[in-house]
Amino acid sequence: MTLVLTVLLTAVYAVVFVKIVKWLYKYYAFAKIIDKIPGPKAYPLIGNTLSFRKVKHEDRYEWVREMCKQYDEGIFRTWLGTMTSVHFTSPETVSTVLASRTLITKSPIYDFIHPWLGTGLLTSTGDQWHQQRKLITPTFHFNILEEYSVVMFEKAEILKECIESELKNNPNKPIEMFDFLTRCALDIICEAAMGVNIKAQTDRDAEYSTALHRITTQAVKRIFRPLLHYDWLYYHTQRGKEFKRTIETAHKFTKQVISEKRLARQNRQQDNADENSECEKPKRQAFLDHLLDACDREKMPLTDEELREQVDTFLFAGHDTSSASMSWALFCIGNNPDVEEKIHEEHLRIFGESREPATLRQINELKYLERVIKETLRLFPSAPSVGRKVTEDLEIAGYKIPKNAIASVQIHYIHRNPKHWPNPDRFDPDRFLPENSQGRHPYAYIPFSAGPRNCIGQKFSLLEQKIVLTAILREWKVKSALKYEEAKCYNDFILRPQQGIKIYLTHK
């Protein structure tokens, strides 16, 4: 018996040993190619992990920016354990990645939010992604955006009431606008996506809105802890168990909404079929309603789980990004009185002395405000970087990038690349005048990414920002409590301010 056991253990050890040797051979062959790309000194197997861990969470954004400056060829590499990222920091190098129709698989970092989003439009790839994109694109048609705008106008008015209440309670103090705008954007996206009013602006303890915030913050914390990348280990920790509970809370809410939508839709169809009339749609349709219509039209039925993945993706991609951009826009306007004055002049020209809420036609005429938003997104892109998994060997800028590396597009640095943006740290909305945009590299400005995987909701976001910012700026003058040099950022899937966005508001 002892002999048999010894033979079995020897065989097991031999198999494990061979697998380890094969893995090490592949790793070193891979590392030999990658390490020809410039980058900080890395150690075998642990890479730059020790350096990463020494940098505080709030300092990582600036640390990456310094790396981008140090390696100014437009490309450099880093290692997090045995996972390598090749960073692209110039329009010339990034164009190869984003323009590709085959490099559409998101980086493994998105795996950390897979338990929430599944394989929705943001995280899917290949034929599945192409089918989803085809199905969802019509739900962002201009005519449908008009329907969504009704929600935006309503929530902007609630935001004004919340701000007014805060000003009465705390006069002469700056307001933390990031929090206000996040709740406003969440209200907008939930009603636009699901047709549900979660009252995030008036109910600050709402379970669903709290869950969404926790999901993203917990996922980001996991990224920089390589040991916790293994699901088995992570979900045995207290953090992993808490993350799982938070996901379940978010899913429960979305599933309930989908179930109710399905039932209401079936009841309408049954009632109208009994009366021999066409199915009457609700007066205001949400993204979910339009998605169900698209499924019927394209004869591509989705299960409740697939619908949930698309709705959750819309929620994730649509609320934090817009709120961040609007917050940074107020910060920039509040630091540039001349810009605020031009916005005021545009308002006078379009609205006159009227105090009535803006119309969609008037919002579309706000060309200067649109340039202000674009310039804000240049300096403070909501998503400061995006990643792709390299699924085939590439050659960029004279360097070979092997399959299975991660291509990381550093949008925040590309937007301040002095070769393409004169005086790049200066806030100047007129950079986006037609005459000043001529000849600019098409990949020098990519706040919504670019190429086949660009953001499908960018028109939705720009419309939302114009409506909400207009509601604020028609009512109040703004002044930032922090100057440019005092504002520090950190990357938490989106570009967040470390000290918030504190704004003084005074009635006009």
Distance CA 138, CA 296 (A): 13
Strand partners, 79: 84
Within-domain flag for 403 = yes
Is 26 within a domain?
no
**Is 17 inside a domain boundary?**
no
Residue 67 counted as domain residue: yes
Listed residue (120, 131, 135, 493) closest to 307, CA to CA: 120
What are 457-479's pLDDT values in tens digits?
A: 999 999 999 999 999 999 999 99
pLDDT in tens, 112-144: 889 999 999 988 998 899 999 988 988 888 788
Span 154-166, average pLDDT: 95
Q: Given a cut of 80, is residue 36 above it in pLDDT?
A: yes
pLDDT of 65 above 60: yes
405-418 burial: b if 16+ Cβ within 10 Å, else e: bbbbbbbbbbbbbe
Structural domain includes residue 496: yes
Domain assignment present for residue 226? The answer is yes
82 three-class SS:
coil
**pTM for this predicted structure:** 0.91
Which tokens belong to 204?
Answer: 């600050």
Average the pLDDT over 326-351 and give the result: 97
pLDDT tens profile 354-375: 888 899 999 999 999 999 999 9
| Inside any domain, residue 478 | yes
How do residues 433-451 score in pLDDT, each as one tens digit?
A: 999 999 999 999 999 999 9
What pLDDT, on the 0 to 100 scale, is given for residue 469?
98
Distance between CA atoms of residues 493 and 387, nearest Å:
11
The predicted structure's pLDDT at residue 272: 62
What's the mean pLDDT when you consider all of the chain? 89
Domain of residue 274, CATH code:
1.10.630.10
- Per the structure, the complete domain to which residue 454 belongs is given by 35-507
Q: Give percent above pLDDT 70 in the chain.
A: 97
Q: What is the band of 27 on the pLDDT scale with cuts at 50, 70, 90?
A: confident
Q: Looking at residue 274, what is its pLDDT? A: 59
Q: How far apart are CA 108 and CA 125, in angstroms?
A: 12
Q: With bands split at pLDDT 50, 70 and 90, how would you rate the model's confidence at 51?
A: confident
Residue 268 lies in a domain: yes
Residue 225's pLDDT is: 78
Q: Checking DSSP bridges between strand 502-507 and strand 489-492, what pairing results, if any?
A: unpaired
| Domains contained in the chain, number | 1
